[in-house]
Structure 1
Amino acid sequence: MNSLRTRLLVAAALILIAFGSLTGLILDRSFQNGMLQAQEDKMQTLVYSLLGAASSDAFGDLTIALDAVPDPRLRQPLSGLEAALFNDDAVVVWSSADFLRLTPPAMPEVGEWRFERLVDPNAFALSFGLRWIDSADDPRRYTVVVLEDANAWDRQLVAFRRTLWLWLGTTLIALTLALLLLLRWGLKPLRLLGRELQQIESGQQPQIQGSYPEEIQPLARDLNTMIAAERSQQTRYRNALGDLAHTLKTPLAVLRGMTAESGLEAGFRRQLSEQLDRMQHIVDHQLRRAAAAGTRTLTEPVLLHGLCEKLLGAMAKVYADRSLRVENAVPGDLRLRADQGDLYDLLGNLIDNAAKYGNGQVRVSALSGSRQCLIVVEDNGAGFPPQAEQLLQRGARADQRQPGQGLGLAAVAEIVQAYSGRLLLDRSALGGAKVIVALPLR
């Protein structure tokens, strides 16, 4: 449900289904009520025709001549239409050719109609109460009952429902497909904008270049402004850092040259050298910290395998006297969206430490998950001391026998922190140190 098209389509489909179901139920109920009213009207007409053919017999009772009834089905057995005449005692005094012997119906009042659906048998029943006054002025109470088989009525209703839901279902499917095409056409500018952003991230184009509807134009314009501002800011930072490094380089070199003068006392020379080294370390630290690009929105992904291959090849030449054995286990298609200079510094420090403090074997591997990328650098040296976290502080060193200032892991920690990642120090299966860098994926 993170897709706008899916959300809109699901919401519209639910509305269409609810509307179609409600419409179908209303039409079905209306049609059923109309059929019931038509059935009742038809049976009332038949009752009137029966009363029109009624007359008194020799005993004064009401009777109906079947020959005078307009509907011939009353004279045919098993026709599905039956009629009977009950007296005031609920006794049949007249019936059609095939009237069923039913339980005497409830006698409606004179002049009242009673229409109902019977379950057994499956038929409609219409009763009418009347009072017949013969020539002797002797009023008698009668009830006319007409039964008609409901199977044909049920078949007609089933056929209507089948046609109704078939056409409603077809209409809903057609409307859903039309809505899908409409959403696809309406959301096309957003898809094009997302595709352009992917091309910007991959370095295929410098900014958003497409023409978009007026609702999206401000967004595209603001994105272009943000991209230009980010690149300009990054350029200014790098230029300022370069100028700062160049500006401080000459004064530090002059001061360091002064320490070589023979007239200085040994103690003063040593103190001056220590302070110069400290100044140099501070400058390097601040330059490296400011130069760390950190997580940026639109950067081209870096292919890690090639980067590690270059660094491992360079370290193999630097430490050629140790017959360094390097292993690049990084997948060839693994890409990480980060600044290439930051990755050079991060991997370069880790590989340099592994080559310097290991016993000739360095292995680099990586694994990409759904949320983060793990970069692992291992060696076969002595490993980390028990309080390995102290090595993340600037100037802390695990091996005092090797030359160095203890800035490698601290610089790596600063870069990882700039990317909101994690740095773990562990024991390697090779027997030495194992550094795990977890960088979030975007």
Structure 2
Amino acid sequence: MNSLRGRLLVAAAVILAAFGSLAGLILERAFIGGLLQAQQDKLQTLVYSLLGAASTNAAGGLTIALDAVPDPRLRQPLSGLEAALLDENGAIAWSSSDSLRLTPPQLPQVGEWRFDRRDDLHAFSLSFGLRWIDASDDPRRYTVVVLEDATAFDRQVGVFRRTLWGWLGATLIALTLMLLVLLRWGLAPLRRLAYELQQIERGEQTQITGQYPDELQPLTRDLNAMIVNERNQQTRYRNALGDLAHTLKTPLAVLRGLTAEAHLDPVHRRQIHEQVDRMQHIVDHQLRRAAAVGTRTLTEPVALRGLADKLLSAIAKVYADKNLQIENQIPETLRVRADQGDLYDLIGNLLDNAAKYGHTRVRISALNAHRQCLIVVEDDGEGFPPDADRLLRRGARADTRVPGQGLGLAAVDEIVQAYGGQLHLERSELGGGKVVVVLPVH
């Protein structure tokens, strides 16, 4: 996930969900625990009222008068509340309902309370062990058992769960939306900074001018310093190039004038003239090389197709006698963030070589893939020799029969290297040479 806001939002949502789930479980357990304690206390009160209504019957056993028990549900059939008195063997000595079929529970000790849920009866059970001494001082062991149906308890727990998780879910959604708003507000300076950088790339402003939080001020200050340094460097390049061109202009003109002297031997005149031309070409090339700016991130992307169309139009005029079939397969939307002058030199040299060494066809194409821009120039000429890499050295030529100085591919390679790219010489499906330029996309 590349979005900073997305990462923060997902992380916060996970934390909120975990916190909400944990809080919900804790609240649910606390509520159920309190409800169970209230259930036990209620049944325990009922046991005390039953013992208060207990008396000895004619046989000397223990019985309970239901009329003396304050809870009327024990006298109502199917009320969900029942009670029983078990003897020391676990047999029912008395019950509030004749239809009671009670599986004997584990009998508690005298004075021991035992509260649990009987899933077989779908009811809560509270048992209490006691010893009853009758009129003849004969102690007898009894167990009082109270059963209450668990349907009402389960319904109450269900209502609480739905209410609890419903409100927790709504609260978590509301908190997530609030967090999204806060993240958008908190990251607004970054979006504003990105917009200003885009304005600088388009040439609509010269530096970052907005007011930013303290955490971003060192970044904006460094970016402005980088922009100023880059522009100052380009200014120094241009001034140095102008001074160099002006300095060399006069000596080269003098040398060229000496070739016109009448007493100069024709052979020497031709040699001097060739060397002057060579020096002029070398000077021009070195000036172009020094002017190559290389990769610049704060520049406007250049549309490759329009640039290639202009160069192809010029190539068609220069090589009109060859009647070349020229194809431009670069997409209209493809753009490369590079200096326009560098791209003119790079593509111009490649198209010139293709038109020079090709027979009838020249093709240029380009695409963006895997954060790289691939520029491909092909022709249907003789192609590259097996040791094609030597052509990247200055002065090396593949075909000495064709006029040239062997500087085109070397100049292209220097520009490509300045951008941190790669240059490959291959065989084209057209039958001739194929040059593949790989430039990193920033």
TM-score (ref. length: structure 2): 0.95
CA distance in 1, matches of 2:302, 2:13: 43
Letter in 1 for 2:250: T
Partner of 1:185: 185
Question: Does the 8 A contact of 1:17 with 1:172 survive in 2?
Answer: yes
Letter in 1 for 2:101: R
Question: Does the 8 A contact of 2:40 with 2:115 survive in 1?
Answer: yes
Question: Does the 8 A contact of 2:66 with 2:96 survive in 1?
Answer: yes
Aligned-pair CA distance for 1:285: 4.5
Partner of 2:31: 31
What aligned pairs does 1:393-408 form with structure 2 within 5 A after superposition?
393-408=393-408
Deviations 1:325-367 (A, max 9, x none): 3222211221110001100110111111112222243222111
Letter in 2 for 1:240: A
Partner of 2:139: 139
Partner of 2:298: 298
Q: Which structure 1 segments of 5+ residues have no match?
A: none
Partner of 1:347: 347
Cα 1:51–1:328 shift into 2, 3 Å: same
Partner of 1:72: 72
Letter in 1 for 2:181: L
What aligned pairs does 1:231-246 form with structure 2 within 5 A after superposition?
231-246=231-246
Aligned-pair CA distance for 1:259: 4.5
Give the percent of matched residue pairs that are identical in Structure 1 and Structure 2. Answer: 74
Paired residue secondary structure (1:141): strand
What aligned pairs does 1:91-240 form with structure 2 within 5 A after superposition?
91-98=91-98, 100-240=100-240
Letter in 1 for 2:323: S
Paired residue secondary structure (1:363): strand
Letter in 1 for 2:198: Q
Partner of 2:323: 323
Question: Does the 8 A contact of 1:82 with 1:99 survive in 2?
Answer: no
Partner of 2:308: 308
CA distance in 2, matches of 1:281, 1:98: 122
Aligned-pair CA distance for 1:261: 3.8
CA distance in 2, matches of 1:405, 1:247: 25
Question: Does the 8 A contact of 2:297 with 2:337 survive in 1?
Answer: no
Instruction: Count matched residues.
Output: 442
Point out the more displaced range, 298-307 or 351-360.
351-360
Aligned-pair CA distance for 1:176: 0.4
Paired residue secondary structure (1:24): helix
CA distance in 2, matches of 1:398, 1:373: 27
* 2:423 counterpart of 1:423: yes
Aligned-pair CA distance for 1:17: 0.8
* 2:30 counterpart of 1:21: no
Deviations 1:123-164 (A, max 9, x none): 111011112122222222211011111111111111111111
Deviations 1:190-210 (A, max 9, x none): 111111112222223222222
Aligned-pair CA distance for 1:369: 2.0
Q: Which structure 2 segments of 5+ residues have no match?
A: none
What aligned pairs does 1:74-89 form with structure 2 within 5 A after superposition?
74-89=74-89
CA distance in 1, matches of 2:104, 2:405: 114
CA distance in 1, matches of 2:362, 2:421: 23
Letter in 2 for 1:247: T
Aligned-pair CA distance for 1:393: 0.7
Aligned-pair CA distance for 1:281: 5.4
CA distance in 2, matches of 1:27, 1:92: 40
What aligned pairs does 1:1-16 form with structure 2 within 5 A after superposition?
1-16=1-16
Aligned-pair CA distance for 1:418: 0.6
Question: Does the 8 A contact of 1:84 with 1:99 survive in 2?
Answer: no
Point out the more displaced range, 12-21 or 426-435.
426-435
Deviations 1:163-199 (A, max 9, x none): 1111101100110011001100111111111111122
Point out the more displaced range, 257-266 or 133-142.
257-266
Deviations 1:281-338 (A, max 9, x none): 5534533332221111211111111111111111122222323332222112211100
CA distance in 2, matches of 1:271, 1:99: 132
CA distance in 2, matches of 1:399, 1:105: 108
Aligned-pair CA distance for 1:400: 1.0
CA distance in 2, matches of 1:188, 1:280: 55
